[in-house]
Amino acid sequence: MATEIKVPPLGESIVEATVGRWLKREGESVSEGDPVVELETEKVNMEVTANGSGVLGQIVKQEGETVNIGDTLAVIASAADARPPVPTRPARLRPQPAPQPPTQPASPPPAPAPALATQPPTQPATQVSNQDAVRATPLARRMAEEYGVDLTQVQGTGPAGRVTHDDVSVYLGAANANGASAPAQSQTPTLPAVPPQQQPIPTPAPASPTMPATALTPFGQPSMPSAFSYTATRSEERIRMSRRRQTIARRLVEAQHTAAMLTTFNEVDMSAVMELRKRRRDAFKERHGVGLGFMSFFTKAVIGALKQYPRLNAEIQGDEIVLKHYYDIGIAVSTDEGVVVPVIRDADRLSFAAIEHEIAELAEKARDRRLSLEDLQGGTFTISNGGIFGSLLSTPILNGPQVGILGMHKIEERPIAVNGQVVIHPMMYLAVSYDHRIVDGAEAVGFLVRIKELLEDPETLLLEG
């Protein structure tokens, strides 16, 4: 009896998804509970498991198709009713024409082209299974299948050694540079080489006395030699946007169109925080099993400032302002498929060590694509740390429906004036973007100043955070 695999409920407010990658192929045996297909939603990627045992008889929805809740993805047939496996991709072998007898005995026939040039060897079954075991992004897998790349030979640079799209591109570039793949050239017969003594020696034409060797542009600058006009490659690549990337793009545009967004800046002297971390770092890690980073200090400082300026911890719903007296702080995390914002719940009730544990766990889950919908839902205020990538200054975009976001940046030693003296201190620029519809400029400036005060005197975080 056939069993249909349908699209399960995808979570709150999510009604459709994209088929990302099939983990099983038609004709393969499956057991109940086995992951069969990966769906891409606007928030997380999720695996759909088999709801019965048998053989995957038919794949209804192909990779890249949009599906809704309840749509049939595939059909599982019983072992008795299963039809023979159908190859998902046509074989690449081309039939070789039968050799023709030479019509002119006087001229020797051309040497036959090597079989490797026209018949690439098919991958053994063991190699295909090894490729399935390689940790790679869906985009990298699709690119590898399109170009016939063995993922086991590609060095992954993503989190936990995952192979990314860039890794496959680098591998293909290296293979082309080494002459590993030249199918177009292999079809063209090569001409016999001319012996060295018969090769004509080009004689450069004498330069015209009235025309300089290098042409000048109308502005008097030398133009590029004409050889560069046709030797430079102009390659393009078309990549399907993942559903998560589409959602990120849509929400960022919506935030700019719906909110009256404004950004204010300040700078903070990080000397006190860095000195405290230096003194307590080893003992903190030995006691709590996690490093003492900057994010716990900034999370506590943000909470202290939000308590003093509650409109930055609010939300607009119709004609009403919803002031939230709990503090679910979102931490922006960069992944190979875009930025996600997992949420630390009730951060005001957590210690420094608990906050560091939460941040480390959520960041690891984000990079391993193990975040659940619950990890991403809600959030009352967001912190984004562009300084880890070297950003010196930026204007963060609101993470709607939130009305405030703090941007951290690179710590850089700069000369500043302290008590009439010029000294070198580690400084960081801070930026807070806010929705001017309910947050006034004075509130935003005071909020950022309060964060600055708490960080420059971190002992007060124990009282205010």
Q: Which of 10-24, 66-80, 215-229, 365-379 shows the lowest per-residue confidence on average (mean pLDDT)?
A: 215-229
CATH fold for the domain made of 3-77: OB fold (Dihydrolipoamide Acetyltransferase, E2P) (2.40.50)
pLDDT of residue 183: 42
The confidence score (pLDDT) of residue 343 equals 92
Domain covering 124-176 assigned CATH 1.10.10.10 in the classification: no
Regarding predicted confidence, which is higher, 365 or 404?
A: 404
pLDDT in tens, 392-420: 999 999 988 899 999 999 999 999 998 89
Place of tokens 């794949």: 59
Pinpoint the residues of the chain covered by CATH 3.30.559.10: 260-464
Domain with CATH 4.10.320.10 in the chain: 124-176
What are the E-state strand segments in 232-291? 261-269
CATH code given to domain 260-464: 3.30.559.10
**Identified catalytic residue from 132, 346, 440, 457:** 440
pLDDT band at residue 75 under the 50/70/90 scheme: confident
Query: What is the Rg, in whole angstroms, of the alpha carbon atoms belonging to the chain?
Result: 31
Greater pLDDT, 79 or 314: 314
pLDDT 10s digits, 39-54:
877 666 778 888 878 8
> Best-predicted range by mean pLDDT among 199-203, 328-332, 365-369?
328-332
Tens digits of per-residue pLDDT, 114-154?
A: 444 444 445 544 555 566 667 788 778 888 888 888 888 88
Torsion-angle region of 235 (φ positive above 0: left; ψ -120 to 50: alpha; else: beta): beta
* Two tokens, residue 456: 């420059």
Per residue in 94-103, pLDDT (tens digit) is 455 555 555 5
> Mean of the pLDDT values across residues 200-216?
50
Q: At residue 36, does pLDDT exceed 60?
A: yes
pLDDT at site 186: 40
Amino acid 227: pLDDT: 46
Strand ranges inside 326-455, DSSP E: 329-331, 333-335, 338-340, 343-344, 381-385, 404-408, 412-418, 421-435
Alpha-carbon distance of 408 to 299, in angstroms, equals 11
**Is 425 a residue of the active site?**
no
- The token pair at 338 is 């875009």
Q: What does the chain come to in residues?
A: 465
DSSP state of 154: S
Residue range 218-249, pLDDT digits in tens: 445 555 544 444 556 788 888 877 777 777 78
Most confident of 215-224, 290-299, 365-374, 443-452: 443-452
Per-residue pLDDT for 11 more than 70? no
Q: Would you state the structure tokens that stand for residue 49, as one six-digit string?
A: 């498991």
Q: What residues does CATH 2.40.50.100 cover in the chain? A: 3-77
Give the pLDDT score at 294.
92
pLDDT at site 311: 95
pLDDT band at 424 (very low <50, low <70, confident <90, very high): very high
Is 436 a known active-site residue?
Answer: yes
